[in-house]
Amino acid sequence: MGIRGRVEELFSVIMNTPLWLTHLLVLLQLLLPLTWSLLHPPHPPPVHIPTLVPHAPTPLIRSRFSARTQPELTTHCNASCFHRGEPEAPRERLTDKLAFETLYADGSRTLTTVDVEADEEFEGDPFTPPSPGRAQRLKARRRRVRRQIYGADGRFNIQGDNFLLDYPFSTAVRISTGCTGVLVSQRHVLTAAHCVHDGKDYVKGARKLRVGFLNPPSINGGLASSKKPLVRWVRVKRTRVPKGWIQGPQEVSMDFDYALLELRWPHRRPFMRLSVAPSSDDLAGNRIHFSGFDSDRSGELVYRFCPVEEESSNLIYQHCDARPGASGSGVYGRVWDNSLERWERKVIGIFSGHQWLEIDGENRDYNVAVRITPLKFAQICYWVHGNRLDCVQD
């Protein structure tokens, strides 16, 4: 999509929302960096994807489904946590975190351990750590109090047949535990791990987990009097959660706050492809986007976008306005596709929640997304395809 198409897309959303004049000013602020990015696309080098070799699954005892659902995850992190990167971790520790549990619809579970195939090009999980300039900007920021809405509320309600069923908004789905997910294949939904598991056990609602597809009133039997969209629910056949989420303190396990749900039947909607998260400098306009079902706007799909504030090896720090319920949303950006020679929307992370970041004795708060690293891409891709040979960077 060219600059004109992108402008028309955002303008249509804005004119369909309240306070459209305020939102129009936000759009104008977006256009300058976006236009520059489109006219001067980056040419990032190819990303090396490691190969995960799974072992035979081991049966586990059945889940008790005793955990309470967490509508939002909140963690704390200090400077060492912020600068912690997977490249510095021993290979054994990484492969242990990349092992995964599979929960089946009948409540049974299995554990699958994995190996990372030896490769001279791969040492840990390659990602360029934040530059010194980014770390210095962290010190210069003033202290904040915790807020999920930063300044004027920049969220847009997505309404009407032409928007709810159009890509990329049509890729957002509801999770029956009160979260959001994103369609990443014809049968798979990516969401946050804390939406189905609290780190010790599966939440009660995961026993009969469902995924909800939003349908405009006009296609639901002609119920024109109904103003809110209706939801068509589909049962989940299988749920996969990385062991990195199940073990360890939350400030570490937040790096693995993602889960994949497999539907009983394929859907017919377009889905969004995954990508290893590039540096924010290689995103069009340095911006991320996501749509979710925020708890303060019941029954509505809510879209937002904002610049990336900071980034670590595993997390994307930002101030996109969000409320509980948006957890699990697919965070996407416009990534330059070298093979197609054009910008493509791709899922580069999963919205997790909120984190207090303590730097030099000051607490700063951010909304946080888990970034898809090469190792996580290889793992999620294997979950989707069941064939490691298909798991190369698109």
Mean pLDDT in residue range 162-185: 92
The residue that leads in pLDDT, 132 or 297, is 297
pLDDT band at 38 (very low <50, low <70, confident <90, very high): low
State pLDDT tens for residues 229-245: 789 999 999 999 999 99
Mean pLDDT, to the nearest integer, of 251-279?
A: 91
- Average confidence (pLDDT) over 45-72: 89
Structure confidence at residue 159 (pLDDT): 73
Question: 109-112 and 100-104: which strand pairing?
Answer: antiparallel
- Which of the four pLDDT bands, split at 50, 70 and 90, describes residue 128? very low
Q: Given a cut of 60, is residue 13 above it in pLDDT?
A: no
Q: What is the pLDDT of residues 342-378, one digit of tens each?
A: 899 999 999 999 888 887 777 888 999 999 999 999 9
Task: Assess whether pLDDT exceeds 90 at residue 76.
Answer: no
How large a percentage of the chain has pLDDT more than 70?
71
Q: Side chain identity at 312, as an amino acid letter? A: S
User: For residue 183, what pLDDT is reported?
Assistant: 98
Question: In sequence order, which residues have a C-beta less than 8 Å from that of residue 197 and are 6 or more positions away?
Answer: 67, 203, 206, 241, 245, 246, 259
Pick the CATH number of 51-117+153-219+227-385 from 2.160.10.10, 3.40.50.720, 2.40.10.120, 3.40.50.300: 2.40.10.120
pTM value is: 0.83
* 238 token code pair: 């299988």
- The mean of the pLDDT values for the chain is 80
Residue 130 confidence (pLDDT) above 50: no
**Rounded mean pLDDT of 267-272?**
93
Position 133 pLDDT exceeds 60: no
Q: What angle do CA 370, 371, 377 make, to 5 degrees?
A: 115
Q: Could you write out the three-class secondary structure of the chain?
A: CCHHHHHHHHHHHHHCCCCHHHHHHHHHHHHHHHHHHHHCCCCCCCCCCCCEEECCCEEECCCCCCECCCCCEEEEEEHHHHCCCHHHCCHHHHHHHHCEEEEECCCCEEEECEEECCCCCCCCCCCCCCCHHHHHHHHHCCCCCCCCCCCCCCCEEECCHHHHCCCCHHHEEEECCCEEEEECCCCEEEECHHHCECCCCEEHHHHHCEEEEEECHHHCCCCCCCCCCEEEEEEEEEEEEEHHHHCCCHHHHHHHCCEEEEECCCCCCCCCCECCCCCHHHEHHHEEEEEECCCCCCCCEEEEEEEEEEECCCEEEECCCCCCCCCCCEEEEEEEECCCCEEEEEEEEEEEEEEEEEECCEEEEEEEEEECCHHHHHHHHHHHHCCHHHCCCC
Tokens coding 70 = 């967490």
Specify the range with the lowest mean pLDDT, choosing from 110-114, 245-249, 316-320.
Answer: 245-249
